[in-house]
């Protein structure tokens, strides 16, 4: 994935010359963290080095009619879930996993665009912990670094991938739903549960039998990385 020169590269690794695609700045102005805030309903927390669980979805994954029917659970304007309870969230996730809408992320070229965008600033703006690109939505768990507000990071992902994905698909118009969902990770137990949920989402959706079989997720990369490590030890 091309990048502009001057990026710092992964934390702890030598500086690399990178050229980033037009529309995404290599070194954007520092975006201040918002701390505790609200986007209209539930409170959100945005701080440096806080681990966040983030979900963003395709523009057509929730028809307006369905959002209106679920008025008590989802705000039709923002798409924000109005309850912190597990029940409504599980119901909404089940609907997403059923694969409604165009499911443009099923296209391997589009899925690769998304994964490349997530990986590109890993170690520079944030640390990726887990992710899964599903047919109509994306789950990410990441620790955000100082000066990289959650909203700015998600906007960068969505703006670049929308442009490239539409080119791949030969379409125009909205690609992503304009809002996203986020929850900060409270503690180690919450972190492990969130990772399991994200990496097993393709299994829960019936797309694969094992998390590591899903091409567009962190579970597969972890297995491949561990296997390469074992090969190196045996040399």
- The predicted model scores a pTM of 0.72
Q: Give 201 or 1, the one with higher predicted confidence.
A: 201
**Is residue 82's pLDDT more than 60?**
no
Q: Give 105 or 21, the one with higher predicted confidence.
A: 105
Q: Locate all alpha helices (DSSP H) within the chain, ordered by sequence.
A: 64-69, 86-97, 108-120, 150-169, 188-204, 218-233
Tokens found for residue 214: 């899903």
Q: Give 8 or 75, the one with higher predicted confidence.
A: 75
Kind of pairing between the strands at 137-144 and 51-57: antiparallel
**Is residue 139's pLDDT more than 80?**
yes
Question: Which of 11-15, 32-36, 156-160, 169-173 comes out lowest in average pLDDT?
Answer: 11-15
Residue pair 67/177 in contact by the 8 Å Cβ criterion:
no
User: Which pairs with CB-CB distance under 8 Å and at least 24 residues apart come from 5-11?
Assistant: 7/121, 7/124, 8/124, 9/123, 9/124, 10/122, 10/123, 10/124, 11/123, 11/124, 11/127
**Is residue 75's pLDDT more than 80?**
no
Q: What is the per-residue pLDDT for 211? A: 97
Residue 153 neighbours by CB under 8 Å, 6+ apart: 121, 125, 126, 142, 144
What does the mean pLDDT of the chain come to?
A: 77
Q: Which class is domain 35-233?
A: alpha beta
Per-residue pLDDT band for 1 (boundaries 50, 70, 90) equals very low
Q: What average pLDDT does the segment 52-80 reach?
A: 67
**Is residue 37's pLDDT more than 60?**
no
Kindly state the helix (H) or strand (E) to which residue 54 belongs, with its residue range.
strand 51-57
């Amino acid at each position: 994935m091309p990048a502009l020169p001057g990026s710092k590269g992964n934390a702890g690794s030598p500086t690399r010359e990178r050229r980033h695609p037009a529309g995404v700045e290599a070194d954007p102005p520092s975006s201040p963290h918002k701390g505790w805030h609200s986007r209209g309903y539930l409170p959100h927390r945005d701080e440096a080095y806080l681990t966040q669980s983030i979900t963003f979805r395709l523009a057509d994954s929730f028809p307006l009619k369905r959002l209106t029917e679920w008025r008590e659970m989802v705000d039709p304007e923002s798409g924000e879930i109005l309850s912190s309870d597990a029940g409504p969230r599980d119901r909404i996730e089940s609907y997403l996993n059923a694969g409604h809408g165009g499911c443009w992320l099923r296209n391997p070229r589009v899925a690769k665009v998304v994964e490349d965008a997530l990986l590109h600033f890993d170690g520079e703006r944030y640390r990726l912990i887990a992710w899964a690109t599903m047919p109509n939505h994306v789950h990410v768990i990441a620790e955000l670094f100082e000066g990289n507000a959650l909203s700015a990071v998600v906007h960068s992902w969505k703006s670049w991938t929308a442009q490239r994905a539409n080119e791949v698909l030969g379409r125009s118009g909205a690609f992503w739903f304009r809002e996203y969902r986020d929850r900060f990770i409270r503690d180690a137990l919450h972190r492990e549960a969130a990772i399991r949920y994200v990496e097993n989402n393709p299994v829960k959706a019936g797309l694969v039998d094992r998390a590591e079989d899903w091409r567009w997720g962190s579970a597969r990369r972890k297995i491949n990385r561990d296997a390469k490590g074992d090969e190196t030890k045996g040399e």
